[in-house]
Amino acid sequence: MLAEPKLKLLADFISQFSKEELIWVNGYLSGWIAAPATTPAEPVNASPKKLTIAYGTETGNSKKLATDFAAKAKKKGLPTKLVSLDQYKLTELPKEEYFITVISTQGDGEPPVTAQKFYDHIHNNGFKLPQLKYGVLALGDTAYPLFCKTGEDVDKQLQYLGAQRIAGLQKCDLDYEATAAQWFDKVIEQLTTSVPTETTVTAPLVAAPKPAGKQYYEGIIQTHINLTAKGSAKKIYYIELLAEGVAFLPGDSIGIVPESDALLVDQILQLASVDGNKTITWKNETATIRELLISKINISYLLEKSVKQYATVVGQEIPAAKTDLLSLLKKYPLQNPALFEQVLEGLTQNVPRIYNIASSPVAHNGEVHITVLRDVFIKEEKEHTGLCTHFLENKKQGDTVRFFIQTNKRFRLPAADKDIVMIGPGTGIAPFRSFVAERDATGASGKNWLFFSEEQFTTDFLYQTEWQSWFETDVLTKISLAFHNGIEKAPTLADKILQQGKEIFEWLQAGASLYLCGEKEPAGKAIEEALLKVFSAETGSETNGKLFFETLKNENRYSKDLY
């Protein structure tokens, strides 16, 4: 409170200023109060700094944060505009003064749908933004391999375009509130006190222990079979999970958090002479060491920072090669068992593996089906299987699996009367089984065309009897197959697309939607190249072909899910 004489002095003083000037004074005073008492902050210019806060969101977190930020900035007297990136006028960007982006990462490291245009705009147009001062707050989830990828890309690209950071990129995990608020307080401090300079705000090194925003389900395995026949070079498992009340749409995926092999964990405990029954708290999770090693902690594919932490604990130089905990313990034994908990601190959590759902919620009510290729690789001359493959391979009928639904809004069936062309080499066929089963069960009138490829016709034709039955009942209008069958120059799926390009183009011109799912390399890449060749040939030039491809994407008639 001010005493009466001072209050009067202040009122007289204030009466000399315009509203704009008062807003600036307000900001100036906040900065002055926040600064150390001996060095009052000097404002650099007399007018308040104009701030735009733009958000790109899918499930609303970025919007909520951006809205809180805008309210805070306004309170501090900064003229602030809050806008969703899909509403943002891209021609405004070169005119902006201070530009804060709050953006999440979706899909497999992709921008939210609402931010796609902005993302493409800054990446595809050859302009510069020398006057822009910016900061990016990235939302993500450390459970995903491409943590905060979109925020990283936007931050990097704005700098590349000549803009100046007023705050370093801040990456946030699911428990973002406190970190985000701290970061924005620093931004406000910059804008209300002094010349903006780049600050590096370090992201928290350690992941939040569990993806709190996700709803997890327990599914009971009711079928677990190898889809490929005897004589096949591969194993592809078909797993049916009983999962009553789990809501999803054709095109969605599930995330499964793999568990480590109990025998491997026991070997580790024995080697480290550690009591696995001791209860500890690891990244907010309280359980026995053995339980944590089985269900939470990544012991198979250690990150570089985990190896570094191990090297510090044992006080030795260890090369940053890909390794696992057991190998480290064997090669660089711990001097004493008490050090094991320090090693655990440097380890990260197991990340979920994502599988396309192969069932239809209408046709296979209460069930979720997946198609899992046994992922085999050679390390130190020994055959190994991927962690989740190994985990799922050893499950039996009646066992439970913990999973969450990963929605994929970019991979959706069109209206029931629209035609679809589905290209699914190998396990890429999974979502198309969901699509066609759904269209069959709902009596959708649109035509359906499937492209599929595998090694051997006799052993590897995934879901063969179902495709045959759908073909016979006219649910599946066309099926185009490419099997290698051990023939050196056998046509690939890309070749089939080139051969049937004219008809594919006709379907698309008549309004069909096109889908591609499967491995990115080599099949996915070759197929996209073949599609571009087809479109170029049919439209008369490569430029027109690219334009046709772009139009399909802009009209949401080309969806791909490559891994």
Q: What minimum distance in Å lies between the beta carbon of 114 and ligand FMN?
A: 9
CA dihedral 388, 394, 400, 404 (to 10 degrees): 10
Q: What minimum distance in Å lies between the beta carbon of 147 and ligand FMN?
A: 4
Minimum CB distance to ligand FMN smaller for 113 or for 220: 113
Number of residues in contact with ligand FMN under rule CB under 6 A: 25
Minimum CB distance to ligand FMN smaller for 141 or for 561: 141
Residues 103-132 that bind ligand FMN (CB under 6 A): 104-109, 112
Identify the DSSP state of 360.
-
CA dihedral 128, 132, 137, 139 (to 10 degrees): -30
Q: What minimum distance in Å lies between the beta carbon of 363 and ligand FMN?
A: 23
Gap between the Cα atoms of 270 and 287, Å rounded: 19
Listed ranges 60-68, 220-228, 301-309, 530-538: which one lies at the site for ligand FMN (CB under 6 A): 60-68
CA–centroid distance for 418 within its chain: 29
**Per-residue contact string for residues 28-57; x = within reach of ligand FMN by CB under 6 A:** -----------------------------x
Minimum CB distance to ligand FMN smaller for 59 or for 485: 59
Distances (CA, A) of 276 to 88, 340, 356, 493: 55, 11, 36, 51
Contact 558, 534 (CB under 8 A): no
Q: Which of 14, 33, 34, 59 binds ligand FMN (CB under 6 A)?
A: 59
Helix/strand number for the chain, H first, E second: 19, 21
Q: Which of 27, 77, 135, 140 binds ligand FMN (CB under 6 A)?
A: 140
Residue 43 neighbours by CB distance under 10 Å: 18
389 interacts with ligand FMN by CB under 6 A = no
Which residue has tokens 């969703």?
A: 84
Minimum CB distance to ligand FMN smaller for 352 or for 425: 352
Map residue 362 onto helix, strand or coil.
coil
Minimum CB distance to ligand FMN smaller for 222 or for 407: 407
Burial 88-106 (b: 16+ CB within 10 A, else e): beeeebeebebbbbbbbbb
Gap between the Cα atoms of 391 and 352, Å rounded: 12
Gap between the Cα atoms of 203 and 55, Å rounded: 19
Q: What minimum distance in Å lies between the beta carbon of 152 and ligand FMN?
A: 9
216 interacts with ligand FMN by CB under 6 A = no
251 interacts with ligand FMN by CB under 6 A = no
Gap between the Cα atoms of 411 and 431, Å rounded: 9
213 interacts with ligand FMN by CB under 6 A = yes
Listed ranges 145-153, 231-239, 435-443, 499-507: which one lies at the site for ligand FMN (CB under 6 A): 145-153
Pairing of strands 216-226, 353-356: unpaired
Residues 457-496 that bind ligand FMN (CB under 6 A): none
Q: Which residues bind ligand FMN (CB under 6 A)?
A: 57-62, 104-109, 112, 139-141, 144, 146-149, 174, 213, 406-407
